[in-house]
Amino acid sequence: MNKEKYKENFFPVNLLDRSVRKRQKWLAIRRILTPGKRKLCLDIGCGSGGITYRLREQGGSWVSADLSYEPVHQAKKDIGGMFVVTDTLKMGLYPGSFQRIVALDLIEYITNYEAFFKEISLLLAPNGEFYLCTPNADKKLFWNRIRNRLGITDEIHGRPHPLISIDELYYELKHSNLTISETINFCGFFSEMMQAFIDVMYLFLRKFRRRNSIKIEKPILCVGDVYPKGLAYKLYSLFYPVIWAISSIDRLRKNSPGYSIMLRAVKVGQL
């Protein structure tokens, strides 16, 4: 892999560097990730490979998996390595073979939590680590209270159901022999404000395109869906330093609640 080439030209990595939530997510996973040079690792929900690329830079042998063929095929073509297309609830991989499994912003698209976490536990070796990232579903948080009023619903993000609550998440982990060892809250008020602005702009563009008979069926999963690669993305990139600067105000508010949660859990015992 030519690292300099892909850092400069690989669109998913550029996208990660210009997305509020994705960039915050990468900073959080880097804080919580333990050394893994000799570990066999599984990245579930790898998508187009932006964070996959960054994870592989941290060391270890990686297998990357996703349900969709197209992004997996493109990511394998772009960065190489081991990629598989598989069902997240029944992956068909060898039990107990992974020392590390990463699933970032995936659980909100899973329809059967119990089956998913049991599959994670099955694939993990004893004392293996599971890293999970998901939005904070706390309804007391300001932006969570007004998202629906702004039109930013689960539907436009492609989510089949409301976000999992923290209590339910902890329950499912515990009953799959996964014990939480560390938790990080990130994406504070100002980061979420900028993300809400990006989402509202998406809704505006979607309405404009429909008015002009341009069909867009795709849900919004990242900033690249709002500003696709091309002129719109280049214009967005010009304003991104301001967006990131406003988001960074959250660093001064250390005790404020986060709108996203990153956790590390360790497998204890057998199912």
| 215 or 89, which is more confident | 89
Write b or e for each residue in 34-61: b if 16 or more Cβ atoms lie within 10 A of its Cβ, otherwise e: eebeebbbbbbbbbbbbbbbbbbeeebb
Domain extent, residue 26, equals 3-189+254-267
pLDDT confidence tier of residue 5, bands split at 50, 70 and 90: very low
- 131, 104 in Cβ contact below 8 A? yes
- The answer to the question of residue 203 being in a domain is no
How confident is the model at residue 27, as a pLDDT? Answer: 92
Using an 8 Å Cβ cutoff, are 49 and 79 in contact? Answer: yes
Statement: residue 156 has pLDDT above 70: yes
Dist CA 229 CA 241 (whole Å): 18
Average pLDDT, the chain: 84
Q: Does residue 25 lie within any of the structural domains?
A: yes
The more confident residue out of 226 and 101 is 101
Contact status, residue 46 vs residue 68, Cβ threshold 8 Å = no
- Report yes or no on 237 lying in a domain: no
Instruction: Specify if 111 maps to a domain.
Output: yes
Q: What is the pLDDT of residues 97-150, one digit of tens each?
A: 999 999 998 998 898 999 999 999 999 999 999 999 999 989 899 999 998 888
Per mean pLDDT, which range of 153-162, 193-202, 254-263 is the poorest? 153-162
Please report which confidence band the pLDDT of residue 36 belongs to, taking 50, 70 and 90 as the band edges: confident
Radius of gyration of the chain (CA): 18
What lies within 8 Å, CB to CB, of 30 at 6+ separation is 58
Least confident of 10-14, 128-132, 158-162, 179-183: 10-14
**Model pLDDT for residues 47-60, shown as the tens digit of each residue:** 888 889 999 998 99
pLDDT, residue 32, reads 93
Q: At what angle do helices 50-57 and 20-32 cross, to 10 degrees?
A: 30
What residues does 104 pair with on adjacent strands?
133
Of the listed ranges 4-8, 26-30, 89-93, the least confidently predicted one is: 4-8
CA-to-CA dists, residue 180 to 48, 137, 142, 184, 271, angstroms: 28, 18, 27, 11, 16
Is the model's pLDDT at 91 over the cut of 90? Answer: no
- H or E stretch at 263: strand 260-267
Within a domain: 160: yes
- Most confident segment among 145-149, 164-168, 246-250: 246-250
pLDDT at 228: 53
Evaluate if residue 74 carries a pLDDT over 90: no
Is residue 212 a part of any domain in this protein?
A: no
Total number of domains constituting the chain: 1
Report the alpha-carbon distance of residue 38 to residue 3 in Å, rounded: 21
* Nearest-angstrom CA–CA distance, 55 and 217: 30
In a domain, residue 138? The reply is: yes
Residue 198 has pLDDT above 60, yes or no: yes
> Above pLDDT 90, what percent of the chain?
44
More confident residue, 263 or 38: 263
Tell me: pLDDT of 15 over 90: no
Q: What is the pTM of this model?
A: 0.87
Strands (E), 105-242: 124-135, 178-186
Q: Does residue 49 belong to any structural domain of this protein? A: yes
For position 61, which CATH number holds? Answer: 3.40.50.150
